[in-house]
A and B are shown apart, each in its own frame.
Chain A
Amino acid sequence: MPGMTPAATAPRPSRRAVLANAALLAAARALAPATFVGCSLGLPTKAPKVLVGLLHSQTGTTGGGGRSLRDIEFHAFERINQAGGILGRQVELLGPNPGARPDRRIKLARRILDQGAVAIFGCWTSASRKSVLPVMEEAKRLLLYAVQYEGNESSPYCVYGGMVPNQQILPALDWLESPAGGSRRRILLVGSDYVYPRTAHYVTRTYLAGRDLKVVGEFYRPLGDQDFSLVARMLRELEADCVLNTVNGDSNEGLFQALAEAGVDPDKTPVISTSIAEDELRSLPPEQVKGHYGVSCYFQSLASPANREWVTGFQEEFGHDRVTDDPMEPDWCLVHLWKQAVEKAGSFETEAVRQAFRSGLEFAGPGGTVRLDPKTQHTAKYCRIGRIRLDRQFDIVWESPEPIHPDPYPQVAFPGWKCDWTAGGITRGAEVSLDGDL
Chain B
Amino acid sequence: MDTLPLSAAPQDWYWLYDIPPLRLAIFFIAAFVGFYWAGCVFLRPILRQFVKHTAGANDIVGYVLSCFGVFYGLLLGLIAVTAYQNVADAGGNVTREAAALSALYEDVSHYPAPHGQNLRWLLRDYTRYVIKYAWPLQRRGVIPEEGTIRVDAVQEELLSFQPVTPAEQILHAEALRQFNHFLEARRLRLFSVTAGLPATMWYVMILGAVLNLAICWLFDMRFVTQLVLGGILAAYLGTMMFLIFDMNQPFRGDVSISAEPFEAIYTRMNED
Give every chain B residue within 8 A of A23 (Cβ-Cβ).
37-38, 40-41, 227
Give every chain B residue within 8 A of A283 (Cβ-Cβ).
114, 118
Q: Which residue of A lies closest to B122 (CB)?
A: A67
Give every chain B residue within 8 A of A2 (Cβ-Cβ).
58-59, 61-63, 65-66
Q: Is the CB of A27 within 8 A of B114?
A: no
Give every chain B residue within 8 A of A37 (Cβ-Cβ).
none
Q: Is the CB of A318 within 8 A of B58?
A: no
List residues of A (189-229) whose CB comes within 8 Å of B's CBs.
none
Q: Is the CB of B156 within 8 A of A59?
A: yes
Give every chain A residue within 8 A of B66 (Cβ-Cβ).
2
Closest CB of chain B to A215's CB: distance in Å? 33
Give every chain A residue within 8 A of B30 (Cβ-Cβ).
27, 30-31
Q: Which residue of B lies closest to A92 (CB)?
A: B6
CA distance A319 to B33 in the complex (A): 54
A44-B224 CB under 8 A given contacts A4-B58, A96-B149: no
Residue A43 at the chain B interface, CB threshold 8 Å? yes
Q: Which residue of A lies closest to B226 (CB)?
A: A1
CA distance A245 to B15 in the complex (A): 56
Give every chain B residue within 8 A of A33 (Cβ-Cβ).
27
Residue A71 at the chain B interface, CB threshold 8 Å? yes
Residue A404 at the chain B interface, CB threshold 8 Å? no
Give every chain A residue within 8 A of B125 (Cβ-Cβ).
67, 71, 318
Closest CB of chain B to A224's CB: distance in Å? 12
Q: Which residue of B lies closest to A63 (CB)?
A: B153
| Cβ contacts B205-234/A at 8 Å (1 or 0 each) | 000000000001001111111010110000
Residue A180 at the chain B interface, CB threshold 8 Å? no
List residues of A (17-62) whose CB comes within 8 Å of B's CBs.
19-20, 23-24, 26-28, 30-31, 33-34, 38, 41-44, 51, 58-60
CA distance A288 to B2 in the complex (A): 40
Give every chain B residue within 8 A of A130 (Cβ-Cβ).
none
Give every chain B residue within 8 A of A319 (Cβ-Cβ).
120-121, 124, 269-270, 272
Q: Is the CB of A58 within 8 A of B270?
A: no
CA distance A319 to B121 in the complex (A): 8
Q: Which residue of B lies closest to A51 (CB)?
A: B6
Residue A95 at the chain B interface, CB threshold 8 Å? yes
Give every chain B residue within 8 A of A5 (Cβ-Cβ).
221
| One of A6, A27, A59, A67 near B33 (C-beta < 8 A) | A27
Q: Is the CB of A16 within 8 A of B223?
A: yes
Residue B152 at the chain A interface, CB threshold 8 Å? yes
CA distance A154 to B7 in the complex (A): 34
Give every chain B residue within 8 A of A1 (Cβ-Cβ).
58, 61-62, 65, 216, 219, 221, 229-230
Q: Is the CB of B156 within 8 A of A43?
A: no
Q: Is the CB of B146 within 8 A of A95?
A: yes
Q: Is the CB of B152 within 8 A of A6?
A: no
Give every chain A residue within 8 A of B2 (Cβ-Cβ).
96
A24-B58 CB under 8 A given contacts A42-B19, A58-B153, A322-B121: no
Q: Is the CB of B6 within 8 A of A94?
A: yes
Closest CB of chain B to A415's CB: distance in Å? 44
Give every chain A residue within 8 A of B61 (Cβ-Cβ).
1-2
Give every chain A residue within 8 A of B15 (Cβ-Cβ).
38, 43
Residue A233 at the chain B interface, CB threshold 8 Å? no
Q: Which residue of B lies closest to A28 (CB)?
A: B34
CA distance A60 to B155 in the complex (A): 11
List residues of B (215-268) whose CB comes within 8 Å of A's CBs.
216, 219-225, 227, 229-230
Q: Which residue of B lies closest to A315 (CB)?
A: B270
CA distance A321 to B40 in the complex (A): 69
Residue B20 at the chain A interface, CB threshold 8 Å? yes
| Cβ contacts B110-126/A at 8 Å (1 or 0 each) | 00011001101110110
Give every chain A residue within 8 A of B37 (Cβ-Cβ).
23-24, 26-27
Residue B18 at the chain A interface, CB threshold 8 Å? yes
Q: Is the CB of A6 within 8 A of B220?
A: yes
A96-B1 CB under 8 A given contacts A1-B229, A3-B59, A282-B113: yes
Residue A64 at the chain B interface, CB threshold 8 Å? yes
Q: Is the CB of A41 within 8 A of B19?
A: yes
Residue A111 at the chain B interface, CB threshold 8 Å? yes
Give every chain A residue within 8 A of B41 (Cβ-Cβ).
20, 23-24
List residues of B (130-179) whose CB comes within 8 Å of A's CBs.
132, 146, 149-150, 152-153, 156
| One of A34, A71, A112, A115 near B27 (C-beta < 8 A) | A34
Residue A308 at the chain B interface, CB threshold 8 Å? no
CA distance A200 to B222 in the complex (A): 95
Q: Is the CB of A42 within 8 A of B20?
A: yes
Give every chain A residue within 8 A of B146 (Cβ-Cβ).
95-96
Q: Which residue of A lies closest to B21 (CB)?
A: A42
Residue B4 at the chain A interface, CB threshold 8 Å? yes
CA distance A355 to B26 in the complex (A): 53
Q: Is the CB of A321 within 8 A of B117?
A: yes
Residue A320 at the chain B interface, CB threshold 8 Å? yes
CA distance A282 to B37 in the complex (A): 72
A7-B63 CB under 8 A given contacts A58-B149, A59-B156: no
Give every chain B residue within 8 A of A64 (Cβ-Cβ).
118
Q: Is the CB of A3 within 8 A of B62?
A: yes
CA distance A63 to B2 in the complex (A): 17
Give every chain A residue within 8 A of B53 (Cβ-Cβ).
none
What are 21 A-B contacts defined by CB distance under 8 Å? A1-B61, A1-B216, A2-B66, A4-B221, A5-B221, A7-B221, A7-B222, A16-B223, A30-B27, A34-B31, A41-B23, A42-B23, A63-B153, A67-B153, A94-B5, A94-B6, A97-B1, A319-B269, A319-B270, A320-B270, A321-B117
Known: A24-B41, A42-B20, A320-B270. 19 other contacts (CB 8 A): A3-B58, A5-B221, A6-B220, A7-B221, A26-B34, A27-B35, A31-B31, A41-B27, A59-B156, A95-B146, A96-B1, A96-B146, A97-B1, A112-B4, A282-B113, A319-B121, A319-B269, A319-B270, A322-B121
Residues in B lying within 8 Å of A, measured CB to CB = 1-2, 4-6, 15, 18-20, 23-24, 26-27, 30-31, 33-35, 37-38, 40-41, 58-59, 61-63, 65-66, 113-114, 117-118, 120-122, 124-125, 128, 132, 146, 149-150, 152-153, 156, 216, 219-225, 227, 229-230, 269-270, 272
The 4 closest A-B pairs by CB, nearest first: A2-B62, A27-B34, A30-B30, A23-B37
Residues in A lying within 8 Å of B, measured CB to CB = 1-7, 11, 16, 19-20, 23-24, 26-28, 30-31, 33-34, 38, 41-44, 51, 58-60, 63-64, 67, 71, 78, 94-97, 111-112, 115, 282-283, 318-322
